[in-house]
Chains A and B, each alone.
Chain A
Amino acid sequence: MISSTDEKSSLSDEQADALQEVVNIGMGIAGDSLARILRTFVKLSIPRIRLIHADNVNLEIAKLIGEDTMITGVRQAFFSYWRGEAISVYDQNGCSGMATLMGYPNNSSNNADADADAELLLDVGNVLVGACINGIAKQLNVEVNFGPPSVIASNVPADALFNTEKLSWSHSLLLEVNFNLEALNFKSHLLVMMSEETISILKSDLDQFLEAI
């Protein structure tokens, strides 16, 4: 049984195909930017797109990330007439391998370590989020702004990223892609989430995109 919200939020087959294509290309652009900035080979997964219900958000995310993983999540807002949040997710290894490339000193012997680690996470998250969202938005002729990133969960089980009691939305579009930089022993999942209002805007953006082809 599909509720009216489900129906309103779900994409038509054409819209879904178009979105998959746009996201594929967008993530490709993001991967390219990353490869240039980090001067290393970036391996990207094929982006996965889901329409999820708020009640299942933790379960869905755990399925995408791996259920027994302990994760740290950095969220960041993107806004224009799209509004959503992107979350970059790291496992226990974090992104220490990226420290030097991001201009952070790679020593680990002082008290400011925790702060430096957190700052690096935010910085790397910002790069991933910016590259991906811009990559998608550009193809749909949308200009996007970004808010500052912040840590939402530190070393929690993959199925505990969200406090589900406090969600104000019922449906969300979830885009997932994972980055793998083997040379740097770096892995991250990027989750892009947009709730009902933005989904309907996105649908009309996709329709315009399809018409323009």
Chain B
Amino acid sequence: MDNIPSQEILTEIVDRISVGVFVVNKDYELVTWNTFMENYSQKKSIEVVGKNIFEAFPELPRSWLEQKINNVFILKNFSFTSWEHRPYIFKFLHNRPITGGIDYMRQNCTFFPIKSSNGEIENVCITLFDVTDTSVYQNMLKNAVRSLADASNRDALTNIYNRRFLEQNMSKEFARIKRYGGTLSFIIMDLDHFKKVNDTYGHLAGDEILKITATKIRDQLRESDLLARYGGEEFAIMLPETSLSGAKILADRLCDKLATESIAFNDIELNISASMGVAEFQPCLDNHEQLISRADAALYSAKENGRNLVTLYDHDNPDAFSNFCNSSQLEQCSTSNTTANSEQEKLQSFIDSENEQSADEAYTDTKNLENTLAITETFAADKQEEAAPPNKILTDLSAEEKADLAMIETHGNNLQEVSEDIRQADDLEPMGIEPHKPENNTIRVKIGH
């Protein structure tokens, strides 16, 4: 019939098409081998036809491919392979030797049964598509997506993680601990008087400090810790499987390191310090935001007590904390104990405290007085003088045993406002004029070396 292409034409098409086409019989002997296969295998049709495919190509994954072909005979059905899971079957060279960056031609294959004239399946045809280009582009796309995903998790200036990524991980880790147990600590820190650096030496200097500080902190962390830039000059560290005391050791070390090592910018040597708040997971907390609020509250009290300090949020000692917070809601949110990062500073603060006597009187009303460290009381007193009217404190403290966790969120919001106030206050203060603070809390700037 005229409208049916001749056998010659069909043979020619199959032979010349730029797709690998070959046929095997039930004994895995090659029946056909087209030009595409000849070109890439460097083996002529006459060399391989009639031979067992596994003898002609010993590098083939034999047991898998035998089974694959065999299933087509039994099920009389199509079968497929994809480069995404099995990059190649034959070790063919590809046409991107310069720009490809991959070893062998990526291949998608289709296996299908061929009926002979008697209706039986005696052969299986395999078509092999060169998908090297596709795979190269797909890998480029994958890499682009990966680096975008990574970039979206990082802070552009310091290249440490950003707040969003930190909070995502906090949330996950929090849920994990809630379910499976374990612990988690959180450090939040704020560089002291940072705006003054920007105002005095320009934002490039400020940026340099942030970058170097981020690196310094990161160098002190373990693989599992997560450091993020939390805000402008705020950093936060999530410490999985770390107790409060473990977190304190790290925070003290960081505080010390930041305060003692100056940062060089052009010809200027800049000295900085940081205040830190530390809190540990407690089973009674409902979400990670509450943990962050606690650390934030501790940071606030570190700021209030002279900066360049590490303050721990003490879950078991709610009263001490209340004194540091300029909010009537805090009495319900439980507790904090404050600890200076060195005896020197404790002493300094003690001396600086202008009205310790009345502060002690305020504390006699608290129920947990005996648990409160003397030095903490001093801090509390010191803070109280500045931050809240004494009568307020006394009423607030009476409810301390009914620490209502539901209030913590409100408290957290409140604290943010408060810490915002502190920041503003920071900005207004003239550099170094803060009489009640230890000397090393202020930014010292030396010009030259």
* A positions within 8 Å CB-CB of B: 33, 36-37, 101-105, 115-116, 118-119, 122-123, 126-127, 130-131, 134, 145-146, 148-150
- From A104, A105, A130, name the one whose CB has the most chain B CB atoms within 10 angstroms: A130
Closest A residue, CB atoms, query B109: A148
Q: Is the CB of A36 within 8 A of B79?
A: no
- Determine which of B76, B77, B85 lies in contact with A122 in the assembled complex, contact meaning CB atoms within 8 Å: B85
Interface contact A115-B86, CB-CB below 8 Å: yes
Majority-rule SS of B interface residues: mixed
Q: Report B61-86 CB contacts with A as 1/0, cut-off 8 Å.
A: 00111111001001111111110111
- Number of contacts between A and B (CB, 8 Å)? 60
Contact of B66 among A103, A104, A145 (CB under 8 A): A103
CB of B35 closer than 8 Å to a CB of A: no
Q: What residues of chain A lie closer than 8 Å to B71, measured between beta carbons?
A: 37, 102, 127
| A115:B76 contact, CB within 8 angstroms | no
Q: How far, in angstroms, from A54 to B99 measured CA to CA in the complex? A: 45
Cβ A130 vs Cβ B85 within 8 A = no
Task: Count residues of B near A (Cβ-Cβ below 8 Å).
Answer: 21
Q: Looking at A103, A127, A134, which has the most chain B CB atoms within 10 Å of its CB? A: A103
Chain B residues within 8 Å of A, Cβ to Cβ: 63-68, 71, 74-82, 84-86, 108, 110
Contact B85 A127 (CB under 8 A): no
Known: A103-B64, A119-B85. A134 touches B108 (CB 8 A): no
In the bound assembly, the distance between CA atoms of A149 and B66 in angstroms comes to: 20
Task: Give the complex CA separation of A118 and B85 in angstroms.
Answer: 7
29 CB-based A-B contacts, threshold 8 Å = A33-B75, A37-B71, A37-B74, A102-B71, A103-B64, A103-B65, A103-B66, A103-B68, A105-B64, A115-B84, A115-B86, A116-B85, A119-B81, A122-B80, A122-B85, A123-B79, A126-B77, A126-B79, A126-B80, A127-B79, A130-B77, A130-B79, A134-B75, A134-B76, A146-B77, A146-B78, A146-B80, A148-B82, A150-B82
A118 to B63, CA, bound (A): 18
Q: How far is the CA of A103 from the CA of B71 in the complex (A)?
A: 10
Nearest B residue (CB) for A146: B78
Identify 14 new A-B residue pairs, CB closer than 8 A, beyond the known A33-B75, A105-B63, A119-B86.
Answer: A33-B74, A103-B63, A103-B68, A104-B64, A115-B86, A119-B82, A123-B79, A127-B79, A134-B75, A134-B76, A146-B78, A148-B80, A148-B108, A150-B82
Q: Which residues of B contact A116 (CB under 8 A)?
A: 85
Name which residue of chain A comes closest to B66, CB basis.
A103
User: Which residues from B are CB-within-8-Å of A105?
Assistant: 63-64
Q: How far is the CB of A80 from chain B (nearest CB, A)?
A: 12
Alpha-carbon separation in the docked complex, A101 to B74 (Å): 14
- In the bound complex, CA of A101 to CA of B63 (Å): 10
Chain B's nearest CB lies how many Å from the CB of A118?
A: 5
